[in-house]
């Protein structure tokens, strides 16, 4: 039952907002929704159709008669399947590492940061604002054989030969975690912000040690945020191509990089479309399973 009366004009705002005419403001949504629907969402329909087209070898002409050829090629060619597997494992690893690194950071931001909160949040956002390239540029100098890591270790006398970091999956993993960690931290912060501190105090007053408070109270309550963050990081890692391409030195092809190659170098757009569709379907499957998982979480929370 909603109450119309008890909170005055604006303590919650919803009732006062109701006062400002509703119908007259709906048109404000039109430009934005039309832009996204036409420029962003509609192309996905085309993508679906395009993935069934073909482009006879050696030509740039597209044959729009529907065929499953592109998909057959992806799932019969070991090159693409191996690429897909490699990308999946890199993405899962990125998610797990981000979760381990991101959770304490999010908790610290919400509970301890105080004055530093805005600064630290801004710093975590910086990689997003800087795009994919600038951090990658720095990472190359960090990881290269003459770079900061190898250089330091060598001057300290720990190693005489450079550890290969660039051009390895490990190097790519570092780049992916660095690029997408903020996508894990921000949803966790949003969810943890909703958890009143008194719950932790209550658990402690009931005799829970800090570790138990974490395991029994904080982690379960933040599960939604962790889930949201994991999906974001997974999707971002799965479809990233700039970071893997530069840090992998072109030696390690991820699925999205293969897609980029088909679209930008080979210029076989229908095949690129079907590769993109495979990624989209993976994301869709993930989305559905997360929705189911959330529902089961939702019953308890």
Partner 1 sequence: MSRFALPAFTALVVLFTIAPLLVLMFSSFDDGRFFRFPPRDFSLRWYHAAFASVEYRSSLLNSAVVGLIATGISVTFGSAAALGLLRGAARSRATLEMILVAPLTLPLVIWAIALLQIYAWLGIGGTLWGLVLAHATFTLPFSVRVMLATFASIDPGLELAARSLGARPWRAFARITLPLALPGLATSAALSFFISFNDVIVSTFIAGSSWITFPVRLYSQLRGQGIDPTTMAIGTMIIVSILIVVGLTELFNRRTLRA
Partner 2 sequence: MTPYLKLRDVTKTYDSAVALSGVGLDIARGEFMTLLGPSGSGKTTLLRIVAGLLTPDRGTLVLGGDDMTARPAWERDIGLVFQNYALFPHMDARTNVGFGLEMRGIAGAEAARRIDEALEIVSMGEYGTRHPSELSGGQQQRIAIARAIAIKPRLLLLDEPLSNLDAVLRQSVRGELRELHSRTGLTTIMVTHDQVEALALADRVALMEAGKIVQIDTPERLYDQPATAFVAGFLGAPPANLMPLAPHRAPGVVSLGGAEWRPEGVAAACLAGLDRAVLLALRPEALRIVPTDTTGAIVGQLRAVEYLGGERLAHVEVVGAAPETPTVCVRIGHAPPEPGQPVGILPDAVTGLFDRETGAKSALPPKGA
With CB under 5 to 8 Å by kind, the binding choice for 5 among partner 2, partner 1, none is partner 2
| Binding status of residue 206 toward partner 1 by CB under 8 A | no
| Binding status of residue 36 toward partner 1 by CB under 8 A | yes
Spatial neighbors of 254 by CB under 8 A, at least 6 apart, are: 83, 86, 87, 90, 172, 240, 241, 244, 245, 248
Total of residues contacting partner 1 (CB under 8 A): 95
Strand ranges (DSSP E) for 39-168? none
With CB under 5 to 8 Å by kind, the binding choice for 28 among partner 2, partner 1, none is partner 1
- The residue ranges that bind partner 2 (CB under 8 A) are 1-11, 18-19
DSSP-assigned letters across all residues of 190-253: HHHHTS-HHHHHHHHHTT--HHHHIIIIIHHHHHHHHHHHHHHHHHHHHT--HHHHHHTTTSS-
Q: Which of residues 76-115 bind partner 1 (CB under 8 A)?
A: 101-102, 104-105, 107-109, 112
* CB neighbourhood size of 116 (10 A): 12
Q: At its nearest, how many Å lie between partner 2 and the CB of residue 15? A: 8
| Binding status of residue 27 toward partner 1 by CB under 8 A | yes
CA neighbor of 178 nearest in space, from 233, 241, 215, 227: 233
| Window contacting partner 1 (CB under 8 A); options: 29-37, 66-74, 82-90, 199-207 | 29-37
With CB under 5 to 8 Å by kind, the binding choice for 85 among partner 1, partner 2, none is none
Task: Provide the token pair at 66.
Answer: 């529907």
Q: At its nearest, how many Å lie between partner 2 and the CB of residue 24? A: 13
Cα gap 96→229, rounded to integer Å: 11
Contact with partner 1 (CB under 8 A) among 41, 202, 219, 285: 41
């Amino acid at each position: 039952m909603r109450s119309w009366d008890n909170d005055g004009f604006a303590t919650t705002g919803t009732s006062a907002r109701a006062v400002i005419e509703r119908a007259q403001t709906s048109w404000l949504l039109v430009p934005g929704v039309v832009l996204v629907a036409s420029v962003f969402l509609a192309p996905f329909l085309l993508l679906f159709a395009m993935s069934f087209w073909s482009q006879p070898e050696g030509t740039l002409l597209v044959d729009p008669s529907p065929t499953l050829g592109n998909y057959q090629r992806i799932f019969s060619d070991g090159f693409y399947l191996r690429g897909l597997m490699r990308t999946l494992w890199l993405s899962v690893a990125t998610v797990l590492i981000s979760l381990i690194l991101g959770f304490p950071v999010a908790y610290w931001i919400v509970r301890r940061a105080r004055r530093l909160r805005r600064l630290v949040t801004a710093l975590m956002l910086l990689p997003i604002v800087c795009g994919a390239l600038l951090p990658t540029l720095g990472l190359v100098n960090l990881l290269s054989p003459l770079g900061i890591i190898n250089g330091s270790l060598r001057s300290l006398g720990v190693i005489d030969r450079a550890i290969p970091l660039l051009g390895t999956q490990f190097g790519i993993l570092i780049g992916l975690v660095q690029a997408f960690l903020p996508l894990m931290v921000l949803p966790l912060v949003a969810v943890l912000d909703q958890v009143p501190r008194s719950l932790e105090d209550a658990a402690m007053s009931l005799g829970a040690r800090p570790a138990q408070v974490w395991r029994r109270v904080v982690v379960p309550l933040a599960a939604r945020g962790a889930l949201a963050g994991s999906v974001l990081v997974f999707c971002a890692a799965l479809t990233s191509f700039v970071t893997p391409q530069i840090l992998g030195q072109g030696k390690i092809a991820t699925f999205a990089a293969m897609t980029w190659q088909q679209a930008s170098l080979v210029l076989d757009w229908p095949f690129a479309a079907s590769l993109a569709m495979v990624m989209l379907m993976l994301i869709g499957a993930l989305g559905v399973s997360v929705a189911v998982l959330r529902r089961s979480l939702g019953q308890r929370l």
